[in-house]
Amino acid sequence: MRVGIVGAGIAGLAHAWSAAQRGHEVTVFERTPKASGASIRNFGMIWVIGQPDHMQSIAMDSRDRWIHAAKQAGFWVSPCGSLHLAHHDDEWQVLSEYVAEHGQTQRAEHLQLLDRSETLSRTSGANPDGLRGSLWSDTECCVDPTSAVRSMPAWLHRQYQVEFHFSTAVTQAQTGLIRTGDGTHHRFDRIVICSGDDFATLFPEVYNGIPIRPCKLHMMRTVEQPQGWRIGPHLAGGLTLRHYPNFKKCPTLAALQQRIAQESPHLDRLGIHVMASQNHLGQVVLGDSHQYGDEVEPFDTSDIDEHILKELVKIIHLPTWQLQARWHGVYAKYTDGLVFEQVVAPGVIVFTGLGGNGMTLSFGLAEDAWSRWEPL
């Protein structure tokens, strides 16, 4: 079967890999010279801990595929785990409730509550001032998103003969046919559209009335930390507990959310929750914020970065905070599920809206999709 993929971000690459592994002839079209969108503008976190319980198997499958891809394609991956740091009593309470809730599940074997001294033994990046403890999870991995995403096409071509057409915009897709900006027609048996937050070019009518919208986030990256200093695991703070759905069942989460809303309403308004990861170059990636829909502007205002840094300083220590880069990313966020998957014409499927879960779930979701789609 001939398969056409629109988009060489992480979702498109995931579908290309899953299809090629099944013996299909795969061609990927990407409108830019190399992947430049949300897939390279993130922490590089394979964030299994952030996924709801019913997505655990897919998240773990995705994690395993990341490790396999890194070995085959030659990019860096670190199974570093993660720490949710608690600097307030209510944060510690939510973490304790989360561990208790999962005490009799398969997830329990990956979770451990650490006291203050145990936390500091796992990372030199935690701010010891006011530190109550942390939640350790061993399932998270780190990749450098830019080098990982941009190295995969060469590997997929070498290993599975996947063809890539960069600097090639797809202007029309219909059953059996893709038309590119140069007027060329390409014929396929199945087409998967992974065009991220571009809701205007292909099948714009499909998105009418659908709860899907763009989300803009601010992020930063430090210079290489001195003398080979490493942060160790991914670090997240108490603000993160109100962002990811896996903590929603914790009884005292509402009180934590209320405290933050009263103390710092701008954090809710700007969707700020703070996290840090470190790449293979020793640079620490910092973020982030969330602005949705009509709030998304092309202009990056310095106050958002300042708010993020102010919150990060409360929970982590770095040898140097000197910044090497600042940027924003925009991804598609679907609020009725973890992905917007819809057949828009016979043999043509839109697959987008993963929000901040793209790096974590794309490989697993693509595998799940192809297992459902096969046979034709």
Name all domains of the chain by residue range, CATH numbers in brackets: 2-74+144-210+336-373 (3.50.50.60), 82-138+212-333 (3.30.9.10)
Q: Is the pLDDT of residue 375 over 70?
A: no
User: What local confidence, expressed as pLDDT, does residue 150 receive?
Assistant: 97
In sequence order, the β-bridge partners of residue 350 are 193, 342
pLDDT given for residue 106 in this prediction: 79
Q: Which SS3 state, helix, strand or coil, does residue 102 take?
A: coil
DSSP 300: P
Average pLDDT of the segment spanning 8-15? 98
- Region 95-120: mean pLDDT is 92
Q: Comparing C-alpha atoms, which of 30, 134, 33 is closest to residue 91?
A: 134
Helix (H) or strand (E) holding 278: strand 275-278
pLDDT band, residue 221 (cuts 50/70/90): very high
> Looking at the whole model, is its pTM more than 0.85?
yes
Mean pLDDT of 14-31: 98
Coil, strand, or helix at residue 124?
Answer: coil
Question: Measuring CA to CA, which residue among 115, 147, 149, 150 is closest to residue 134?
Answer: 115
What would the pLDDT profile of 230-262 be if each residue is shown by its tens digit?
A: 999 999 999 999 999 899 999 999 999 999 999
User: Is the sign of the CA dihedral 226, 231, 234, 235 positive or negative?
Assistant: negative
Q: Write the CA distances from 87 to 101, 140, 207, 278, 315, integer angstroms.
A: 21, 22, 42, 21, 7
Q: How many CB atoms within 10 Å of residue 5?
A: 29
- Sign of the alpha-carbon dihedral angle for 288, 220, 323, 148: positive
Does the pLDDT value for residue 104 go beyond 80? no
pLDDT, tens digit, 9 for 90 and up, residues 148-168: 999 999 999 999 999 999 999
